[in-house]
């Protein structure tokens, strides 16, 4: 089993607008570029990973070296990403001088500590109010231990997203309005950002810092219940899944009256208990469980079904029906019964508020009975293992089929109002169309490499992998051979390659693709 990556030190600044209304404070928030493969399209504050030289910057009023380094990191990221220089002495610099400083820093002509020193600037810890440390849950490809600081934007400085930052756009917004936007499913954000917005909605009160720090997650306790989007809880559970992933996302989709549980996949008792606790919480708030729904047959998506139903029977005296595609049900025979077959285009409608209605899409390719669920009102799509937020999708014949998979991706791409993808692994994907395009392009490119390898004389999946998967570690070659087989099946059906009686592949002549 793979270990999840160790969190890296990072810092972020929650920037308050100068002279902001303490009863309705405004912050600067930014949308991450939709071109980013990690958390693209999500809303965030400016921040980033610590650099080695951050420790060398002078920070007054701070005896704690670690904290000083993180303040330095936060201030540097703020300057690099939105051009705000939160340093003592910077008020004498003109806009032009600040711009040329930024240019010096970005082009690496000077380091951050050198820049401060050279212009007689320094950082002051009292300008940066510590409001929590949040650790990325272990389900992400990149994990950070992020220090959040609240800071006032210096007067006469206007934050502006710099061209080569990871941010696409940014704006001042009342925290209350930003939080409302999230509640209306208009933005996707990570838990610490939502917590900050929610906390600031209560105003700049004397107990503000206390309120920021009042949740265990603000003190490095891993977030279990992640609500990137309202009413969709992403609850990653540890599973023996395919590396580099270590967790499978279980989703709990709720209204005021009911909720749906999608893919309770962990075979581990401690993880099953954590999920059961979350389910109990939703029940104790007056909801009933509508159904357990499965996206597909793989063990890391179904292994917790029996345990969850045992728990529900013992604790609440109910057995919850299980819904899945017919093909999934057939393969699960003997493990547990599927009570309801979900067909393509079926609707799963939850009673209560908000109205949540999910349209099932039969999207085979990764697995024969694979289902996605589309919320046509908000544009959320539960994409199962067809698109994931972390790692790659294995197409392993005969359960996997490359032609079906590509057709499923095209079908998902053609949906009109996609706003966010909730995959079976990794964080939410807030740049759905870019991500699906990336997946399709990746498969087409791989197909081209495989065909080229066959044309150059590689005749077995093993030989093909050596030529067409030079970017993949030899440890993953056995898995890559399965994917090659899936591509070869499709190429053979298209008349591009042929097999002889020994199962060796060769290229067909005069066929262009």
How many other C-beta atoms lie within 10 A of the C-beta of residue 416? 7
Residue 154 vs 267, nearer CB to Zn ion: 267
Contact range with Zn ion by CB under 5 A, out of 59-67, 155-163, 218-226, 377-385: 377-385
399 binds Zn ion (CB under 5 A): no
**Distance of closest approach, residue 296 Cβ to Zn ion, in angstroms:** 6
Contact range with Zn ion by CB under 5 A, out of 27-35, 78-86, 202-210, 290-298: 290-298
Which of 405, 247, 341 lies closest to 333, judged by CA? 341
CA atoms within 13 A on the CB side of 49: 9
By DSSP bridging, strand 46-49 and strand 232-238 are unpaired
How many other C-beta atoms lie within 10 A of the C-beta of residue 145? 17
- What sections of 39-138 are H helices per DSSP? 65-82, 95-106, 112-118
Residue 133 vs 425, nearer CB to Zn ion: 425
Residue 385 vs 447, nearer CB to Zn ion: 385
CA-CA distance, 187 to 180, in Å (whole number)?
10
Residue 290 vs 298, nearer CB to Zn ion: 298
298 binds Zn ion (CB under 5 A): yes
Contact range with Zn ion by CB under 5 A, out of 146-154, 225-233, 297-305, 462-470: 297-305
- DSSP state, residue 391: S
Residue 4 vs 241, nearer CB to Zn ion: 241
Per-residue contact string for residues 68-107; x = within reach of Zn ion by CB under 5 A = ----------------------------------------
385 binds Zn ion (CB under 5 A): yes
443 binds Zn ion (CB under 5 A): no
CA-CA distance, 442 to 393, in Å (whole number)?
11
Contact range with Zn ion by CB under 5 A, out of 161-169, 330-338, 341-349, 385-393: 385-393
The contacts of residue 133 (CB under 8 Å, 6+ apart) are: 145, 146, 147, 148, 218, 219, 220
**Distance of closest approach, residue 251 Cβ to Zn ion, in angstroms:** 15
Residue 133 vs 298, nearer CB to Zn ion: 298
**Distance of closest approach, residue 292 Cβ to Zn ion, in angstroms:** 17
Q: Using an 8 Å Cβ cutoff, are 440 and 403 in contact?
A: no
**Distance of closest approach, residue 425 Cβ to Zn ion, in angstroms:** 9
- For the chain, the 3-state helix, strand and coil shares in percent, each to the nearest 5, are 35, 25, 40
Residue 143 vs 298, nearer CB to Zn ion: 298
Tokens of 470: 């030079």
At 73, phi and psi to the nearest 5? -60, -45
247 binds Zn ion (CB under 5 A): no
How many other C-beta atoms lie within 10 A of the C-beta of residue 479? 17
Strand partners, 46: 13
Contact range with Zn ion by CB under 5 A, out of 88-96, 140-148, 257-265, 294-302: 294-302
**Distance of closest approach, residue 415 Cβ to Zn ion, in angstroms:** 21
Positions that interact with Zn ion (CB under 5 A): 298, 385
């Amino acid at each position: 089993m793979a270990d999840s990556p160790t969190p890296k030190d990072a810092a972020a600044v929650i920037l308050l607008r100068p002279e902001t209304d303490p009863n309705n404070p405004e912050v600067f928030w930014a949308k991450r570029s939709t071109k980013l493969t990690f958390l693209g399209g999500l809303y965030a504050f400016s921040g980033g990973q610590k650099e080695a030289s951050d420790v060398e910057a002078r920070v007054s009023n701070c005896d704690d070296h670690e904290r000083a380094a993180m303040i330095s990191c936060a201030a540097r990221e703020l300057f690099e990403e939105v051009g705000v220089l939160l340093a003592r002495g910077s008020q004498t610099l003109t806009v032009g001088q600040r711009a040329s400083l930024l240019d010096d820093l970005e082009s690496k002509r000077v380091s951050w500590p050198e820049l401060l020193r050279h212009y007689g600037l320094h950082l002051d810890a009292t300008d940066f109010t510590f409001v929590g440390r949040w650790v990325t849950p272990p389900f992400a490809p990149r994990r950070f231990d992020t220090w959040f600081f609240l800071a006032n934007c210096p007067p006469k400085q206007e934050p502006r997203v710099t061209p080569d930052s990871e941010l696409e756009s940014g704006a001042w917004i009342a925290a209350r309005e930003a939080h409302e936007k999230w509640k209306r499913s208009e933005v996707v954000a990570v838990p610490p950002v939502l917590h900050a917005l929610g906390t600031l909605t209560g105003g700049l009160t004397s107990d503000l810092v206390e309120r920021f720090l009042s949740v265990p997650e603000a003190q490095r306790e891993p977030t279990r219940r992640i609500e990137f989007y309202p009413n969709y809880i992403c609850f990653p559970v540890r599973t023996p899944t395919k590396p580099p992933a270590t967790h499978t996302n279980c989703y709990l989709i709720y209204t005021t009256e009911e909720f749906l549980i999608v893919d309770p996949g962990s075979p581990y008792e401690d993880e099953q208990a954590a999920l059961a606790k979350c389910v109990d919480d939703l029940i104790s708030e007056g909801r009933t469980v509508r159904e357990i729904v499965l996206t597909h047959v793989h063990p890391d998506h179904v292994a917790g079904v029996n345990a969850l139903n045992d728990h529900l029977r013992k604790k609440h005296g109910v057995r919850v029906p299980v819904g899945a595609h017919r093909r999934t049900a057939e393969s699960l025979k003997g493990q547990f019964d599927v009570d309801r077959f979900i067909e393509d285009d079926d609707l799963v409608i939850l009673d209560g508020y908000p109205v949540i209605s999910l349209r099932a899409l039969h999207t085979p390719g990764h697995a024969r009975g694979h289902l996605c669920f589309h919320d046509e009102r908000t544009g959320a799509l539960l994409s199962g293992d067809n698109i994931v937020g972390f790692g790659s999708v294995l197409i392993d014949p005969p359960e996997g089929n490359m032609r079906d998979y590509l057709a499923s991706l095209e079908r998902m791409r053609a949906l009109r109002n996609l706003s966010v993808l909730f995959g079976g692994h990794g964080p939410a994907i807030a740049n759905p169309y870019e991500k699906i395009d990336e997946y399709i392009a990746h498969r087409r490119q791989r197909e081209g490499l495989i065909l080229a390898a066959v044309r150059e004389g590689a005749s077995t999946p093993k030989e093909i992998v050596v030529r067409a998967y030079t970017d993949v570690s030899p440890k993953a070659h056995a898995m890559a051979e399965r994917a090659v087989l899936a591509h070869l099946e499709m190429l053979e059906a298209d008349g591009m390659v042929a097999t002889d009686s020994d199962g060796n592949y060769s290229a067909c002549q005069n066929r262009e693709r």
